[in-house]
Amino acid sequence: MININEVLETNKMIRSQHLDVRTITMGISLLDCIGSTISETKQLVKEKILKKAEKLVAVGEELSAELGIPIVNKRISVTPISLITARTGGSVEIAKVLDECAEILGVDFIGGYSALVHKGMTEYEKEFIKTIPEALSVTKKVCSSVNIGSTKAGINMDAVKMMGEIIKETAYLTKDNGSIGCAKLVVFANAVEDNPFMAGAFHGVGEADVVINVGVSGPGVVKAALENVKSKDLTVVAETIKNVAYKITRVGQLVAKMASERLNANFGIVDLSLAPTPVMGDSVAHILEEIGLESVGAYGTTACLALLNDAVKKGGIMASSHVGGLSGAFIPVSEDIGMINAVKNGKLCLEKLEAMTAICSVGLDMIAIPGSTDKDVISAIIADEAAIGVVNNKTTAVRIIPVHGKDEGEVDFGGLLGTAPIMKINTSSPNEFISRGGRIPAPVWANKN
Amino acid sequence: MKAIVTVIGKDTKGIIAKVSNFLFERDINIEDISQTIMQDFFSMVMMVNIVDIKTPFSVIAKECDNLGKELGLEIRIQSEDIFNAMHRI
């Protein structure tokens, strides 16, 4: 028997603490859409996506009405396109098909214009990566990612070198829109196959044909819970977060289960990530400040984030039958009002963000930097982030926007992508290091067998 | 098939009668009612059975919302699943 306090508690989380289902993402395998010509592939891809995801948005809305919780985004992820077009080429045309499907179906993003090159690149993959800037500039909803390193493989520094150039070119081609193309491009180390969040989502080759992955979000709920335990010790703080994370994740589990049944798909995973939005009351930075920091970015930030991330995982793991995706606290600078303010006030710098990615969150995300930044500096930022991920056996990523034509101020992407203040960076040249290319070998503890 | 109707707002005459009538008109049976007044705010939670409804749930959910706006209250109907998921292991 559900009691009145439980009902009121759940609804308070939804109505005033911004608890929502951040995304239902349908992963679709395109391995059976590889035609012998690009026209054939285009047709097969379009047919399959339109067929499998036909009811995705409708089911999302249905579940939202039934459960009384917003289901904010419905998204699609596909098999990395570099695998689908390896024989025929024409990947930009496939990007347009993906964009068209997203438009027809009413989903807000479609991810998977991706390549997995952690150990090495085929000639075709190099060509594919070079098409990323164009693909992102001629489409609206397509997201792209490249995996340049892994704990098992080490770091592909040839790919890292390329990605610095690719990011600059993407910024240039979308310069009339605040270089927004870069907001749809993620460079990964240890990328996961079942991430429901954009821009890094793709449908890995180890996955079933059609899979539902869900991301829930409630930074506001966590913060509200912590407001009740002011000046209690950190064990109490950790327990409070853990208990709330359990409740939040239970909603994700329920939605994933119901959505996969209604869409005739496999239940994939629930991603435990605490994902903020730019709206007030929905900030991860504010949770850290609630734990007791004057501003996110102060010393103590890394420790608080370690506590938060761990407690979220412990509560969330109990709540879900399968946990996956990124499942780490997100610290996207443009999508978190607390982060934006801390950067603007000079309290949060890139070096601190890098430290935070080492301990428990997913990466340098939505970082706007001066448009004049050298491509090798960008590659070196990627290399640093990759090293953190590869050595610590975790996913790290870089989603960085060198805003073409702007070296200070801020850039507004609109919507969920938010507003990003342009951050100062260290311009000392890593040029000789990046020019060397080659591979950084896998760390010794990758040899676990 | 169970659902939960929540009514929140300033206490006014006839809330229970109006909401019960709304549910009756839609073949929804009330199985349990709990209510509390918290800081002037009237909160009522009804466990209802929607097995006999003739219109889609999302339509009824919208009508509930509209009724709430009409009466100056927040009225929602939700599947009990979300509460069970969150508060029961």
CATH number for the domain spanning B37: value is 3.30.70.260
Number of structural domains chain B divides into: 1
Measured between beta carbons, the chain B residues lying within 8 angstroms of A61 are 58
Q: Which residues of A touch B47 (CB under 8 A)?
A: 1-2
- Measure Cα distances from A393 to A65, A120, A189, A390 in Å: 40, 19, 9, 5
Q: Which residue in this structure is represented by tokens 């821009």?
A: A199
Whether the upstream peptide bond of residue A199 has omega within 30° of 0, thus cis, is yes
Strands A154-156 and A185-189: unpaired
Are the Cβ atoms of B76 and A11 closer than 8 angstroms? yes
Residue type, B18: K
Same fold, A4-189 and A217-446: yes
Q: What stretch of H or E contains A145?
A: strand A142-150
Task: Report the half-sphere exposure of A32 (CA within 13 A, side-chain side).
Answer: 8
Contact assessment for residue A128 and residue A97, using Cβ atoms and an 8 Å cutoff: no
A31: contact with B, CB 8 A cutoff = no
Among chain B residues, CA nearest to A316: B86
Enter the ipTM.
0.89
Q: Which of A5, A9, A11 to mutate to test the interface with B (most CBs of B within 10 A)?
A: A11
Q: Which residues contact A263 (CB under 8 A, 6 or more apart)?
A: A26, A55, A56, A59, A210, A212
Q: Counting runs of H as helices and runs of E as strands, what totals does chain A give? A: 15, 14
| Chain B residue at shortest CA distance from A64 | B58
b/e per residue B32-49 (b: at least 16 CB within 10 A):
ebbeeeeeeebbbbbbbe
Chain B residues closer than 8 Å to A60 by CB: none
CATH topology (fold) of A4-189: Anaerobic Ribonucleotide-triphosphate Reductase Large Chain (3.20.70)
DSSP-based three-state secondary structure for A396: strand
Q: Is A152 helix (H, G, I), strand (E, B) or coil?
A: coil
What is the distance in angstroms between the Cα of A271 and the nearest Cα belonging to chain B? 16
The pLDDT, as a whole number, for residue A296 is: 96
SS3 assignment, position A261: helix
Task: Give B15→chain A minimum CA distance, Å.
Answer: 17
> Which tokens hold the place of A120?
């090495």
Contact flag A67-B78 (C-beta cutoff 8 Å): yes
**Helices B15-25 and B57-71, interaxial angle, to 10°?**
160
d(CA A95, CA A169): 17
Least Cα distance to A304 among A198, A412, A223 occurs for A223
pTM above threshold 0.90: yes
Distance between CA atoms of A434 and A198, rounded to whole angstroms?
Answer: 28
- Alpha-carbon distances of A1 from A6, B35, B75, rounded to whole Å: 10, 15, 21
Strand partners for B75: B7
In this complex, is the C-beta atom of B42 within 8 Å of any C-beta atom belonging to chain A? no
Nearest CB among B34, B82, B85 relative to A68 is that of B82
- Which pLDDT belongs to residue A278? 85
Beta strands in A7-55 (DSSP E): 20-28
Query: What residues in A contact B76, CB-CB < 8 Å?
Result: 11, 68
Using a CB–CB cutoff of 8 Å, tell me whether B49 touches chain A. no
Residue of B nearest to A1 (CA): B84
Q: What's the pLDDT score for residue B10?
A: 84
Q: Name the one residue in this structure whose structure tokens are 């859409």.
A: A33
Of the candidates A375, A384, A334, the one whose C-alpha atom is nearest the C-alpha of residue A184 is A334
CA distance A236 to chain B (A): 20
Q: Are B9 and B73 in contact (CB under 8 A)?
A: yes
Question: How many CA atoms within 13 Å lie on the side-chain side of A112?
Answer: 35
Closest to A284 in 3D by CA, of A324, A230, A245 = A245
> Radius of gyration over alpha carbons of chain B, in Å?
13
Running along chain A, 449 residues long, what does each successive block of 10 average in pLDDT? 87 92 97 97 98 98 95 97 96 98 97 98 98 98 98 98 98 94 97 95 97 94 96 97 95 96 96 88 95 97 96 94 91 91 94 92 91 98 97 96 94 82 95 98 93
Query: What pLDDT does B39 receive?
Result: 72
Beta-bridged to residue A365, according to DSSP, are A399
Phi-psi region of A68 (alpha: psi -120 to 50; beta: other; left: phi over 0): left
Give Cα separations from A282 to A68, A70, A196, B57 (angstroms): 19, 14, 19, 29
- Using a CB-CB cut-off of 8 Å, the residues of chain B touching A251 are 82, 85-86
Report d(CA A392, CA B84) in Å as an integer.
Answer: 38
Sign of CA dihedral A17, A69, A212, A336: negative
Q: With an 8 Å Cβ cutoff, are A66 and B79 in contact?
A: yes
Angle separating helix axes A123-138 and A91-105, nearest 10 degrees: 40
Q: Are A309 and A328 in contact (CB under 8 A)?
A: yes
Q: Which of A365, A351, A59, A51 is nearest to A209 (CA)?
A: A51
Annotation: CATH topology of A217-446: Anaerobic Ribonucleotide-triphosphate Reductase Large Chain (3.20.70)
Cross-strand bridge partners of residue A146? A115, A187
Question: Which sequence spans correspond to the domains of chain A?
Answer: 4-189, 217-446
Residues on chain A touching B49 (C-beta within 8 angstroms):
none
B33: contact with A, CB 8 A cutoff? no
Contact of B43 with chain A, judged by CB distance below 8 Å, is answered with yes
In this complex, the residue of A2, A62, A65 whose CB is nearest that of residue B84 is: A2
CA-wise closest residue to A12 among A327, A227, A292, A215? A227
Residue with tokens 């329920």: A254
Nearest to A83 by CA among A133, A23, A30: A30
pLDDT attached to residue A244? 96
Distance from CA of A251 to the nearest CA of B (A): 6
Give the per-residue pLDDT at B30.
94
CB-nearest partner of B57 from A7, A65, A251: A65
Q: What is the dihedral of CA A350, A356, A362, A364, to 10 degrees?
A: 0
**Distance from the Cα of residue B17 to its chain's centroid:** 12
Chain B residues in contact with A65 by the CB 8 A cut-off are 57-58, 61-62
Cα–Cα nearest to A187, from A243, A115, A121, A250: A115
Q: Which residues of B61-78 are buried (b: 16+ CB within 10 A; e: fewer)?
A: bebbbebbeebebbbbbb
